[in-house]
Amino acid sequence: MKDNGLFVKKYPDIPDALMGYQIDKEGHPTYGGLSGRDIMTLAVGLKTVARQDYLTYRINQVREFGEEIHKRRLPVMTPIGGHAVYLDVNNSLQIRI
């Protein structure tokens, strides 16, 4: 739609309504194309992961998972981190060329 086109002159409220709908559902190119819903979801997620009780729970969950894998004699990289458990593929895969 042209800013001063015939359609916009006849229906001046439609461009703003369409832009609002686009931002809610599809996002806008000026901020990466994320929809308003997705940006709000990111905000909630960031607030959640910054809480100390959640961080403690999550770090312990990863540690216990890594310890259980190690107990089952799967080679894991140590020390086990708070965000992931890494398998030591150099010690677990035997590749012959």
Contacts of 75 (CB under 8 A, 6+ apart): 87, 88, 91, 92
The answer to whether residue 97 is domain-embedded is: no
pTM of this structure: 0.53
The answer to whether residue 59 is domain-embedded is: yes
The answer to whether residue 2 is domain-embedded is: no
Verify that 59 and 82 share a domain, yes or no. Answer: yes
Verify that 43 and 55 share a domain, yes or no. Answer: no
DSSP classification of residue 75? -
Q: Give the model confidence (pLDDT) of 27-45 as tens digits.
A: 766 767 777 788 889 999 9
Verify that 34 and 56 share a domain, yes or no. Answer: no
Domain that holds residue 63: 51-92
Verify that 25 and 57 share a domain, yes or no. Answer: no
| Tally of domains within the chain | 2
Q: Give the model confidence (pLDDT) of 48-57 as tens digits.
A: 989 999 999 9
